[in-house]
Amino acid sequence: MNKKLWMYTCCISTFLAACNNGQQQGDTQHSDAVAVYLTTPDQQQLFAQQASLGEATDTAALNITMDTSRQFQEIEGFGASVTGSSAYVMQQYMTPEKRQALLEELFSADKGLGINYIRMSIGASDFSTDPYTYDDMAAGQRDDSLAHFSIAHDEKDVVPVLKQIFAINPDIHLMGSPWSAPAWMKTSGKLEGGSLRPDAYAVYARYFVKYIRAFAAAGVKITALTMQNEPQYEAAYPTMKMTAPEQGTFIKEHLGPLLAQEGLNKQVAIMLFDHNWNSPEYPISILNDSTMAKYTAGAAFHCYEGAVGAMSVVHDAHPEKGLYFTECSGGSWSPAFADNLQYMVRQLFIGTVNNWSRNVLLWNMALDENNGPTTNKPGEGKANRGCMTCRGVVTVNSKDGGVTRNVEYYAIAHFSKFVRPGAKRIYSSALADKGIENTAFLNRDGSRVMVVINTTKEPRSFSVKEQSVVAYTLQPGAVATLVWR
């Protein structure tokens, strides 16, 4: 077995018995020691436990002050999307034993990463085995009574995998996001593109309610909804445009009141937008309507255009609302582990959390070695497939069910393992201009967690001052999670 493969295998259990250059580290912890978990850009350390830090005699030139009395937003969780494709590769390519081992590794707080937030598509996305919704009708036909509503398509792969996840982590958050309403509700008359017809607003609201209840009956609890994935975008796979006024009207006059009437408003949070950082005015314009705003928990964002600071623009306009980060994908267009590690930790995790996000979600939880399967409309070959180069958090081999842990896996691990749901982001002094970027948290059990990345090309020594002082040196591009127990 080569060294890199050995390290991947070892890191399945690195959270309980650390891997470090092929040697297990002593994991005896003292109450006054600070645990350290390290990932280096050369992949020689992959979320590997290091020697614990004792109290330093003095602060370093680069000193981070951490203050638990200065608290900000509550953290709900970290994770990725269990798309139809993710469920397919885990359900179809893996033995039950391998699948259980992988899901425990991803979702168990004791045995693995402790992922506590996932997203799914309501019907097909661009990562499903085929295009569908839960109420598809022949062209020219309608189903305003929703008599044909069914989640049968998802009962083959999606439901079994989600139920297995819930058995491991019953308290996990699950966000549902539609890529398209049923074609008969749309101006285009098809799943690709078009908008929701005004005369379908009421029935579409009931469609959401039936979705929530159907999955609950199947043992899967939905805790959040976005109204439309990427509402400013149309493509040759299931998509639907929805302007800010349209989304506001749909929530205010239909979905919001209906969820309240059905007693679901306390269980399921409604989130606006679910698109890129470059349009903060979209959710702000909806939240400015105080009557409408009472139905929403806040706004969700993706990474593909704009800058992360847009989230703070929305926070400043409406600090009473939550912010969420719901999608970003790595892919074969950017193959360098080091570059991806820095971008993901710096922008997608530290960046979004420091700009008020309550969660951080990447895109596909799992894909196969061909970056798929992706949605392929029958008879059209690859004509309307979505992203052909997106990478999953893990790659599941279609031949033997083997698992490759990608850079996304380690980026998530640095946060999800020790920053538990209900943690509060706390003050930590910013040293971005010195090349040491960080964010810090206080867990409900009193433990403190800080994630630090060195964004320079030189080693950086720094100290952290809380009740006492600890010091550490990070190599260029390296990421460390520090845990005060």
Known active-site residue 327: yes
Cβ atoms of 90 and 102 within 8 Å: the answer is yes
| Catalytic pick among 327, 408, 437, 466 | 327
Map residue 10 onto helix, strand or coil.
helix
Q: Which residues of 451-483 are buried (b: 16+ CB within 10 A; e: fewer)?
A: bbbbbeeeebebbbbbeebbbbebbbbbbbbbb
First-to-final CA distance of the chain = 36
Rounded to whole angstroms, the Cα distance separating 144 from 137 reads 11
Do β-strands 460-465 and 63-74 pair in parallel, antiparallel, or remain unpaired?
Answer: parallel
Handedness of CA 424, 428, 431, 437 (dihedral sign): negative
415 is written with which tokens? 């946060």
Q: DSSP of 386-448, one letter per residue?
A: --SSB--SEEE-TTT--EEE-HHHHHHHHHHTTS-TT-EEEEE--BGGGTEEEEEEE-TTS-E
3-state helix, strand, coil in the chain (%, to 5): 30, 25, 45
| Catalytic pick among 192, 230, 408, 437 | 230
Where does residue 157 rank: exposed (0-12), middle (13-18), buried (19+ CB within 10 A)? buried
Cβ atoms of 328 and 292 within 8 Å: the answer is no
Alpha helices in 230-336 (DSSP H): 244-250, 256-261, 281-287, 290-293, 310-317
Known active-site residue 262: no
Edge-first strand order for the sheet with 424-428 is: 48-49, 34-39, 479-484, 448-454, 436-442, 424-428, 63-74, 460-465, 469-474
Residues with a known catalytic role:
230, 327
